[in-house]
Every structure is written in C-alpha cells, then in structure tokens.
Chains A and B, each alone.
Chain A
Amino acid sequence: MLAAAGVLAACAPDVGGGSSTAGGNTASAGAAGGNNASNCTNTIPKKDLPVVTFWGWYPNMQLVVDNFNKQNNEVQVCWTNVGQGGDEYDKFQTAISAGTGAPDVIMIEADRIPTFQIQNALVDIKKYGYDAVKDNYSAGAWKDVTIRDGIYGVPVDGGPMAMIYRKDIFEKYKITPPKTWAEYERAAQKVKDAGGPLFGDLGANVPAVMMALQIQKGAHPFTYDPAKPETIGIKLNDQASKDVLEYWGRLAKKGLVGTQDQFTPEYIAGVVNGKYATYISAAWAPGYLTGAGVGKGEDTGTWAVAPLPQWDPDNPVQVNWGGSAFSVTSQAKNPELAAKVAYGLYADDESLTDGWTNQIIFPLNLKALNSSDFVNAKVAFFDGQQANKEVYVPAANAYQGMTYAPFGQYYYDAMTKQISAMIEGSVTGSQAADRLQEDVVNYAKEQGFTVQ
C-alpha cells in the first residue's frame, strides 16, 4: 500500500520534502543516467541522430518517449527515471553542486522551478521556440514557469484544485456541496453534530495546499522585482494568510477536520473507510486515489467533485496544487536541441490522450484541454460525472498562475513546522503566520537576498 501510494502519486507534489525513501519506489534509482547517454531505460530507434538525456517520472513515460522518438527526425530522447519528486531533486541538486551529472532536460514540479533557477541550473528557453507553442498553453500555465520574463520550463500537467466529496455521506446528512468556506464550516459542524465522520483533513505535510488556499484568499507570499534579482518580497503573515490559517486551525480545534498527514497509508485507509467527507485536492487526485484503492468494491461510485469553495463567491479565485514541467538544465550540451525536446515531449496527441484517459495527468496543453473528448469525458471514479466539464476545465481556465519561492524546500519545511505547532495548539493561526514570516525572512537574508 505504501509503495503503491508512492508510485501512483505520479503528479502529486512532493510530500514532506527531503527524501521520500519509503514511498519513492522507483525503477532505477541510483542508475542516474546524467549526461551519459549510454544507459537509457528506453531503446533509441534512430541511432544516428543526436541524443538528449532526460529525467522524468510520469508512469507512462516509456510510451511518451517512444512516441517522441518515433515522430522526430532531428533528435532522440534518452530517458531515465531517477525517482519522483524529492528523490529526483536531491539527485539533481547534487549534480548541480558537482557541476556535472545532470541530464539535458528534466521534469520538475512548477513550484520547484525557482529553487533551481536561482542557482542558474536552468536555461531560459524563450528564444528556442517559445513563440511557436505559446498559444498551446493558458497564460496561467505559462506564469507558473516564468521568472522575470524568462521561460524556465514547458508546462505538462497541472493541478487545478476542487473539492472531492462522498456523495453517500452528503446525502445521509442532507447537505449540498458548500460554495463558500463559511458554508463548508457550517456543513462540517452539521455533520459532526449529527455524529458523522470528519469533514476534511488538515495535513501538516502538505504545505503547498495551505499556500494555495492562502493565495486563493488574496495572499501574495512571494514577489519578485524583475530588475533586481537579489531582491524578493516575502509576505507570509498578511491578513489573508492569517485568516486562512486561523480558519483551518479553528476547524481542527473543533474536531471538524482531521489532522492526519496526507499521502500516508493511515490517511488513505481513512479515505477508503469513509472517515473523511471531503478531500480538498487537485485534478490529479482521482487518478491517485484510484491507484491507492479508493472507490473500489462496494464504494464504487460514492465519490463526486464540486468546485473549490470560495471566500467571495462573486469573485471566485482558482488555485493550483502540483503539476510538472519539462526544463532544460544549464548542463545541457546543446540547449537548443534540448529545448526542442522540452517543447515537443508529451505534446503529441497520442501521448496526451494516453495521459488523461489513464488519469496520469491533467493536461495543460490546450490541444487536449479543449478537446471535446477530454471536456466531455465521463470520469469513472466520479460515477460518470463529467468532472472535467463541470469542475476542472473551468478551474484550469480561470487559473491566473502563482509566484513560487526560490527556496521552496525551506519555505515548505518551515510551513509544515508551523502548521504542526498550530495543530498541537501551541500557537494560533496568526502566531503561526508571524513565526513563519520571521523564519523565512531570516533564511532569505542569510542566503543573501534583500528582503522587501
């Protein structure tokens, strides 16, 4: 179960940071190809063409790489899976520090791009054909991979957020999907008063969710000045951030939501057993949950999805959790050729269709996102609900993009620490925000940033 959770959380963001030794069950960890094109996992069909090395962990990567190699007459991809999320980043980080050993193209979650860009480990690929594919992705998708006018990755999959819920529980306690967070709290109280299960979960190990929910309320955690790369704006304790932390802290304190770490066997067991009425998560969640054994057997068809609750229903804001991009590393021997791979890989119809029909990715490529097959698809996990049309595609289209931290790992670890303290009850939500601000600002200063 643990291993399954790790492997099938294909597009799920890195959990807990550092290294996910127990969860990251990967094929060839350690056999890192790096710049060495001799040990690819795939077989290169056109041997006389130049080769670009690539690290990635999508479960259907083999097919995607084969499709690319078959269709391309200019360059071939040599692919290795060195682990997903944290495992891969640790290896990439080591290769950056060593100055050698990184691949030419690498799959990175969008929120980690600034962390590597700040170390000059990624190449701005704007001049290598951005204009040709610009219209294939939404503005929000591009913003996630843009830093100071530079394009540091090609969006592949995204995670527009929504509220997944148990229809049977909602029916039993006679509640309708809440449209606002106030309604969410009232519904949670109603279920609890009637002796029902927990309404949701506040996991200390998923700080990216908290960040997204804070941004939804209008927080701007990080801002850059395009002209001055050494300056950064950090605002982690503004009113919006505090409000959201207070909100979840209150729900946890009242016992309306659980406080279990997510992506753990414990949490998934809870989800399977109907311990949680809702799961605030992203568009990749159905695939992840299906793989983890949720919604099977007698629970088939118990799940449905509704748009993410809003703070102000008149001005809805859509946010994102997870999703990855393909970036060209500065160790690439031929950046132009590498950029061709980054732009072209997983962008053909066949690969995209395989990705979304098998619930591996929520595609950001508009060719797939706007195709009627995708939009009208009836999702089996949601009992045939047209989840894309009703919830996810509108959310993806309304998504405006977010600005991520250039020290994402530190920020997430610090956030986890504060959420954990808040759950424990030693700090209030506001205090947690203040401490987080102090912690992260100190780190940024120590790392040489001018903090505004």
Chain B
Amino acid sequence: MTLLIEESAARTQKKTKKVRGKVRLREHVMGWLFVGPFGIVFLALLIAPLAYAFYLSLWQKKLIGGVSFVFLGNYVKAFTDPTFLSGVWFVIRFSLVAIPLQIIVALVMALILDGVTSLFTRFSRLMIFLPYAIPTVIGAVMWGFLYSKSFGPLSDIFGLFGATAPDFFSKNLIFYGLVNIVTWQWSGYYMIILYAALQGIDPALYEAARMDGAGKWQIALRIKIPLIAPALLLILVFSLIGTLQFFNEPQILRNLAAGTISPGFTPNMYAYQQAFGLANFTYGSAISFALGGVVFACVYLFLFFTRKRRSFF
C-alpha cells in the first residue's frame, strides 16, 4: 500500500515537473515574443549599422586607387589629425563651460519652483521648459536672427549705452554664442528632471529638519541637493554625452557664419563632412568611432571621479 502511494506520488511529481517544464517553455517563447519586436529593431537599426560602420572604418578609400584594408590606420590618422583633435578639444572645453552652467541654472530654477508655491509656479515651469519643446533647428535659426547685427535686438540694446554690440558669429565669441543657445535649450529639460526628483522627497524630512532648527538654505543645501544627487548625476552624464556629440546648432549656424564655423568644428560635424561631403565614408566611420571612444573615456572618468565611496566600480 505504502509502496503504491509512494509510487503514485512519484508519478504525480514527475507529471507536475513535466507540466512545469511545458509552462516554462511556453513562458520562454512568450518572453522572446515580447522582446522580439524590440530585439529585431535593436539588431537591425543599431547593432548592424554599428558593426557595418566599424567594418568600414578599417578600410581606406581614396579618390584614386580605390579601397584598401588599413586595419586601424584610420584611427591612427584620426588621433593625429589636427582637425579632429581641435574638434575634440573644442567639445571638451565646451562641456566644461556649458554643462555646469546648464546644471546650475536648472538646479536653481528647480529649487525655487519647489520651494515656492504660487499661481505663477505652474506657468513659470512651463515657460522654462518651453525652449526644450522647440526643435533644435528652429531654435538655432531663431538665435541666428537674434545675434544678427541688423535684425537682432543686440545692436539696439548696446546702442542705448553707446556701445557696439558683440558679434556672436566672430571667432572669439562664437563659443559663448553657442553656450548661450545650448543653455537656453536644455536648462528647462534638466529643470523638469530635477523638479520631479525634488517632488519625490518625503516632506516629513523637511519638517524634521525645521524642528532641528534648519533654515530654508540649509534645507536646500543639506537635504534637497544630497537627496537628488542621483538625478543630478544622471543629467550630468546625459549632457556630457550630448555635448561631446555637439552637431545641430553649429551645423545650422554654419549657414550664417561659414568662415567662423569650419566643417570640422566639432568631431561629429567632421564625420558628417567626411562621409557625405567628401565621399569618404571609411574615414567618416573611423571619426565616429574615435569620437565614441572619446565619449566613453570622458564618461568613465567622470563617473570614476564622482563615485561614492565603496558604491560602484
């Protein structure tokens, strides 16, 4: 009897195992089906082009003599190419100035909006966010007009004080002209991210801080900012990656200031110029990958220096 029962128990166990296996298999298939559409698009539109571009970057194409395999020759050339290096140097300098500026503006705005509750908060939030909603191209064209010596308001404003307006398209000032455009465009977006993070903080913490005698400044500096540090880190990394790949604004303003903004002004513009202007897809691909390397190195260094003790890496 006991034997029988044991046997049947073993059998049911086996049965359930089989059933479970079937369920697991079905779950697997279902899982792949759900991931499938994304996976296919991911492979076809990201991984495959990347692989192909990398493959291209190992070849050299000449107008005379055609294509030849040079292995990493294009990369050696890129990192000794003064145009590429000056472009990289430009975007690094640009990041060092523009990113802190954007983040500070965004942080101050977010803290103010978080601290003050009035009818204007919602309106100001929208207004500050608005530049991000304007397409980059249109934003750049608009600033092109604002900077214009004959259409822009600058000459009128400076004229009031009897001064000549600065020419933001000149070689000396184009840097600041672009910093201004980028800050205008992105601060609002970063502000929203920080604002959302601030809204997520438990108000009980503020109350506790107030009971301990903390003022508004102390709450902002000692409670709010440390608590939104992850969000700050996130937008810093985003903006670093974005700024190192700087392309849209200078490419558009090039139509207004071709002498100041050369085709190799930023590495991304240089890659575009090589591939589509000079029929050199191979070197263009190499420039793109070299830039990718630079971005990776910069982000790695950044994360390395901002890491929390014993947290990651």
Contact = CB atoms under 8 A, between A and B. Distances in A.
A18 interface: yes
Query: In the complex, which range does the number of interface residues on chain B fall in?
Result: 20 to 34
B276 A19 contact: yes
Interface in B226-271: 251-252, 254-260, 262-263
Nearest to A3: B141
A270 B262 CA distance: 24
A264 B151 contact: no
Interface of B: 62-65, 137, 140-141, 144-145, 148-151, 171, 251-252, 254-260, 262-263, 272-273, 276-279, 281
Contacts of B150: 266, 269-270, 273
Contact of B257 (A18, A20, A261, A269): A261
A23 interface: yes
Interface of A: 2, 15-23, 86, 90, 93-94, 96-97, 118-119, 204-205, 229-230, 261, 264-266, 269-270, 273, 406-407, 409-410, 413, 416-417, 419-420, 423-424, 446-449
Nearest 6 A-B pairs (CB), nearest first? Answer: A420-B259, A204-B259, A448-B64, A205-B258, A16-B258, A448-B62
A266 B256 contact: yes
Contacts of A16: 254-255, 258
A407 to B, nearest CB: 7
B279 A119 contact: yes
Contacts of A20: 255
Nearest to B280: A447
A375 B98 CA distance: 58
Nearest to B140: A22
Contacts of A18: 251, 254, 263, 272-273, 276-277
Given A19-B251, A119-B279, A449 B258 contact: no
Contacts of A90: 276-277
B64 A413 contact: no
A264 B256 contact: yes
Given A16-B258, A22-B137, A97-B281, A449 B63 contact: yes
23 contacts: A15-B258, A16-B255, A17-B258, A17-B273, A19-B276, A21-B137, A22-B144, A22-B255, A93-B276, A97-B279, A119-B63, A204-B258, A205-B258, A266-B150, A269-B151, A273-B150, A413-B262, A413-B273, A416-B262, A420-B259, A447-B62, A448-B62, A449-B63
A448 B151 contact: no
A424 B63 contact: no
A448 B281 contact: no
A193 B137 CA distance: 42
A119 B65 CA distance: 10
Nearest to A20: B255
A265 B145 contact: yes
A265 B149 CA distance: 10
A413 B255 CA distance: 13
B250 to A, nearest CB: 11
Contacts of A96: 279
A410 B278 contact: yes
A277 B260 CA distance: 25
Nearest to A261: B258
A273 B149 CA distance: 13
Given A2-B141, A15-B258, A20-B255, 19 more contacts: A16-B258, A17-B273, A21-B255, A22-B140, A22-B144, A22-B252, A90-B277, A93-B277, A93-B279, A204-B258, A265-B256, A266-B151, A269-B150, A273-B150, A409-B277, A410-B278, A416-B262, A419-B259, A448-B64
